Amino acid sequence: MNSGAVQPRMTDRRWETRLLVVLAAVLVVFGLAAVYGASSLVTIAGGQVGAGFALRQSIGAVVAALAGTVVARLDYHRWHRWAWPTLGVVSLLLLLPLLPFTHGVAPVLNGARRWVNLGVVTVQPSELAKFAVVVWTAMLAAKKGEQIRTFQRGLLPFLVILGPVIGLIFLEPNLSMALLVAILAGTLLFAAGARIGHFLLLGVAATPLLFGAVASAQYRLARILTFLNPGNAPSEANFQVHQSLVGIGAGQLVGVGFGHGQQKLGYLPYAYSDFIFSTIGEEWGFVGVLAIALLFGTFVWLGFRIARSASDPFGQLLAVGCTALIGLSAVLHIGVSLAVLPATGITLPFISYGRSSLFVALLATGVLVSVGQARAGARPT
């Protein structure tokens, strides 16, 4: 090689993955503080230690961080080979709560069987399904290439495999999570090049099914009617959303102070999980919620930057899916807290109490780091 030849100037892109890790760490630490502030009095009322929820979440954070670190150091192409086994294991976990002889393993909590006790840990299979569906959809979509634009060879195989998985989540019952998983799969297929016309046809075909799913449960129908016409809804129907808005409004600019929120005193159910954004708004104010929005916005921006510069279609789609997993969950949670979406049970990634949710969020972060590090660490500009 001619040593006098002019070499292209190279740009180090490692700052993206480093900043992504920093953002995830900040969100996790902030989440531990928020969970403690929102749950301490609730656990005391139940006769447990005030920091019980926060301690369990901290242990989950350590385990999830270790798993995310291992995944970040792996070649992400391994997920191409692991896609089918991952989806298969998660599907079995989703099936367990629906079997009549598994009540000891999958107990009924709050009228639903959404958790599986594996002895050393209790997992929520529907949370794991988000990641499994992202990996499997990215694998098959990358393999199909241009065939994704056809219906018979493109979308139909995804419907055949993912339809039963989404159905198992719905039967828990967990309609909001089933919809989220379907939206994640749709996002990946759209990114892979699927035709918009096919999505429109699927939307038309799925509308009666969605209407039937909502109408089949009184509480779902009440949530939709309350969202569409909150002024005429009975007080008990819009109680959660009303208290959520009260809490956020009480926070004003800088909040009432950490641990001084009032909504967690029995006014706002699940203030440490399903409505933790409202707790943050009350205790940290507009400054706190703006900081959370900026953190998630930056995370999503970095995720799509990593996806855009990935070296192969599978890496691109895998990064898009992991980014959407975090971003869509955050948007849905915040939208419910602000009453711009019907009430659901979607957690806020990294922050809400729930070790399965935290594990999946850090696992997705690890995959993003893996994809980012596998690119040319320096490329011509």
For residue 313, the model assigns a pLDDT of 95
For residue 303, the model assigns a pLDDT of 97
For residue 263, the model assigns a pLDDT of 84
Within the chain, what is the greatest distance between any pair of CA atoms? 80
* Tens-digit pLDDT profile for residues 258-293: 888 888 877 888 888 989 999 999 999 999 999 999
- Average the pLDDT over 11-27 and give the result: 89
Return the closest-CA partner of residue 124 out of 133, 115, 132: 115
Residue 190 has pLDDT above 90, yes or no: yes
- pLDDT band at residue 381 under the 50/70/90 scheme: very low
Residue 7 has pLDDT above 90, yes or no: no
* Tens-digit pLDDT profile for residues 344-353: 889 999 999 9
Based on C-alpha coordinates, what's the Rg of the chain? 22
Residue 90 has pLDDT above 60, yes or no: yes
- Distance CA(284)–CA(217), nearest Å, equals 36
The torsion angle over the Cα atoms of residues 362, 55, 272 and 114, rounded to 10 degrees, is 70
For residue 234, the model assigns a pLDDT of 62
Break the chain into its structural domains and give their ranges.
14-376
Residues in contact with 79: Cβ distance below 8 Å, sequence separation at least 6, in sequence order: 86, 135, 138, 139, 318, 367
- Distance CA(150)–CA(374), nearest Å, equals 31
- pLDDT band at residue 233 under the 50/70/90 scheme: low
The position carrying tokens 């995804």 is 158
Give buried/exposed letters for 289-326 (b at 16+ CB in 10 A, else e). beebeebbeebbebbbebbebbeebbbbbbbbbbbbbb
- pLDDT band at residue 19 under the 50/70/90 scheme: very high
Question: What φ, ψ does residue 271 adopt, rounded to 5°?
Answer: -65, -15
Residue 380 has pLDDT above 60, yes or no: no
For residue 4, the model assigns a pLDDT of 46
For residue 277, the model assigns a pLDDT of 95
Beta-strand (E) ranges in the chain?
10-12, 116-117, 122-123, 378-380
Higher pLDDT, 71 or 274: 71
Cβ atoms of 138 and 84 within 8 Å: the answer is no
- Distance CA(282)–CA(245), nearest Å, equals 9
- Average the pLDDT over 242-252 and give the result: 89
Write down the mean pLDDT value for the chain.
87
148-152, 319-323, 325-329, 362-366: least confidently modelled range: 148-152
